[in-house]
């Protein structure tokens, strides 16, 4: 069937030249806009913006339509977005909705197939093959991380172990019993799992057959990736997706690991300045904004992700001309301000994971002490440090404080804590606990 040597799941699309991609995008965009006329929401949205979907001649013409965001999705009944009859919908997914009403995405059968196809493309690109055993350690359910790649791995022909999230000892048992070679995992959980391996007297390098990890669903640093690769002996590939764009499979790393290729036959990517909503100059950091080109049930036009990243210049050595985005620096929503300084949790993580003696979990706690803001970074240390010489603990604390001050320009209180003592959820890690009262902002 497919040539195993070439490394491309869908060579025709993956090796399309940049100009052909643009041409395909325009053709598909026109189709999407026609389809949107069936949706009560889009009819209003177009009318209010004075946007004529029939007048679109170039990709740039789309810019006269205002971008939409989570609030836009929440502001109307989700059914109003549909461009197909309700009975054509076969599945819904929803974001976690931790802040306000959850956002809902509806999928037709064709939508699920298209998403599966993109996922298979991602997996194949990293070297996953039919002979692999794919342990899917993502939550199944409304969250898209689980089901998205479950079907993708099956489509590819790998054997899937739908282990879901949590239950760490069982995860390790399954890995060993069934010879898992590929895992799909949240990076903070993979880091935590190392503690469980150690507790069980096991070494993942020696005692598993893992060779590939697909890590995604939360922003993480390059240092965290390297740490996982060293400890597990696998190659970790960065994955990008969000439920509004169906889920994982929007962008993925190729074997060269220099940014994640956005599948531009399926999405129009824009990188905008989040304040002015104008495109940033090529290569500069901005907010990722996507338009779906392959979704029929509920297309989204110019959807603001809040994710900040930049586009790599030039061509990738793998031959794909689908543009590459950088690792996500953080969601603009994740950024917090202490003493007037903008800080991303990722900056703190980078410092911590580059420091020897730091364990597998950390937490940032923000408090008001009188009228003064206080930033506390609670850091789990390794067993060796915790049970070792107290002077080493003190010296580690000083080193972390100094390194954090250099990175974030604020001096936090660094508190070193016992391994395993910080709260650990099974899903995405909660890195920042903000206990400050309303600071009189918005």
List contacts with Zn ion (CB under 5 A). 254, 256, 316, 318, 320
For the chain, counts of helices (H) and of strands (E): 13, 20
CB of 93 to Zn ion, least distance (A): 28
Residue among 51 and 124 whose Cβ is closer to Zn ion: 124
Residue among 328 and 352 whose Cβ is closer to Zn ion: 328
CA distance to 13, 102, 200, per residue, from 234 (Å): 28, 35, 20
| d(C-alpha 19, C-alpha 290), whole Å | 19
CB of 236 to Zn ion, least distance (A): 16
Residue among 304 and 320 whose Cβ is closer to Zn ion: 320
| d(C-alpha 380, C-alpha 373), whole Å | 23
CB of 134 to Zn ion, least distance (A): 22
Residue among 140 and 312 whose Cβ is closer to Zn ion: 312
CB of 317 to Zn ion, least distance (A): 6
Mark 43-60 as b/e (b = at least 16 C-beta within 10 Å): eebbeeeebebeebeeee
CB of 324 to Zn ion, least distance (A): 7
Residue among 317 and 387 whose Cβ is closer to Zn ion: 317
CA distance to 26, 224, 352, per residue, from 394 (Å): 60, 24, 15
Residue among 122 and 358 whose Cβ is closer to Zn ion: 122
CB of 252 to Zn ion, least distance (A): 9
CB of 293 to Zn ion, least distance (A): 21
Beta strands in 172-299 (DSSP E): 182-185, 212-215, 235-242, 247-253, 260-262, 267-272, 286-292
CB of 318 to Zn ion, least distance (A): 3
Q: Please count the CA atoms within 13 angstroms of the CA of 34 that sit on its side-chain side.
A: 6
Residue among 109 and 256 whose Cβ is closer to Zn ion: 256
CA triple 193-197-202, angle to 5 deg: 160
Give the distance, in angstroms, between the CA of residue 77 and the centroid of all CA atoms in the same chain. 26
Virtual CA dihedral for 292, 152, 126, 196, nearest 10 degrees?
A: 110
Locate 417 and state its tokens.
Answer: 């804590």
Residue among 81 and 124 whose Cβ is closer to Zn ion: 124
Q: What is the DSSP letter of 293?
A: S
């Amino acid at each position: 069937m497919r040539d195993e040597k070439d490394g491309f799941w869908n060579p025709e699309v993956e090796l399309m030249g940049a100009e052909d991609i643009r041409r395909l995008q325009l053709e598909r965009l026109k189709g999407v806009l026609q389809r949107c006329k069936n949706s009560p929401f889009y009819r209003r949205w177009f009318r209010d913006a004075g946007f004529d979907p029939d007048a679109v001649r170039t990709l740039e013409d789309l810019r006269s339509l205002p971008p939409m965001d989570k609030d836009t999705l929440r502001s109307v009944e989700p059914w109003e977005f549909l461009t197909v009859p309700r009975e054509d919908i076969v599945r819904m997914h929803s974001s976690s909705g931790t802040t306000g009403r959850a956002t809902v995405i509806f999928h037709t059968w064709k939508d699920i197939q298209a998403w599966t196809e993109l996922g298979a493309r991602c997996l194949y690109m990293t070297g996953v093959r039919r002979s692999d055993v794919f342990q899917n350690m993502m939550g199944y359910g409304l969250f898209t991380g689980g089901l998205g790649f479950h079907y993708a791995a099956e489509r590819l022909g790998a054997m899937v172990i739908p282990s879901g999230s949590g239950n760490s000892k069982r995860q390790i048992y399954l890995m060993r019993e069934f010879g898992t070679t590929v895992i799909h995992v949240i990076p903070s959980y993979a880091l935590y799992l190392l503690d469980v391996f150690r507790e069980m007297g096991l070494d993942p390098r020696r005692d598993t057959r893992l060779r590939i990890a697909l890590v995604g669903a939360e922003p993480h640093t390059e240092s965290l990736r390297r740490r996982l690769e060293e400890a597990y002996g696998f190659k970790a590939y960065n994955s990008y997706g969000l439920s509004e764009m169906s889920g994982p499979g929007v962008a993925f790393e190729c074997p060269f690991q220099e940014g994640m290729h956005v599948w531009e036959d399926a999405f129009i990517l824009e990188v905008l300045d989040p304040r002015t909503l104008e495109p940033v100059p090529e290569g500069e950091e901005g907010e990722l904004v996507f338009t779906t080109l392959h979704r029929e049930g509920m297309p989204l036009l110019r959807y603001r992700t809040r994710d900040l990243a930049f586009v790599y210049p030039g061509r990738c050595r793998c031959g794909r001309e689908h543009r590459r985005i950088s690792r996500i620096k953080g969601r603009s929503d994740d950024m917090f301000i202490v003493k007037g300084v903008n800080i991303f949790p990722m900056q703190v993580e980078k410092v911590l994971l580059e420091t020897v003696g730091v364990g597998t979990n950390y937490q940032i706690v923000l408090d008001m002490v009188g009228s003064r803001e206080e930033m506390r970074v609670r850091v789990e240390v390794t067993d060796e440090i915790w049970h070792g010489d107290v002077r080493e603990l003190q010296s580690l604390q000083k080193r972390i404080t100094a390194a954090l001050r250099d990175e974030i320009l604020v001096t936090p209180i660094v508190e070193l804590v016992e391994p395993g003592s910080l709260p650990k959820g099974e899903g995405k890690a909660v890195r920042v606990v903000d206990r400050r009262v309303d600071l009189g902002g918005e």
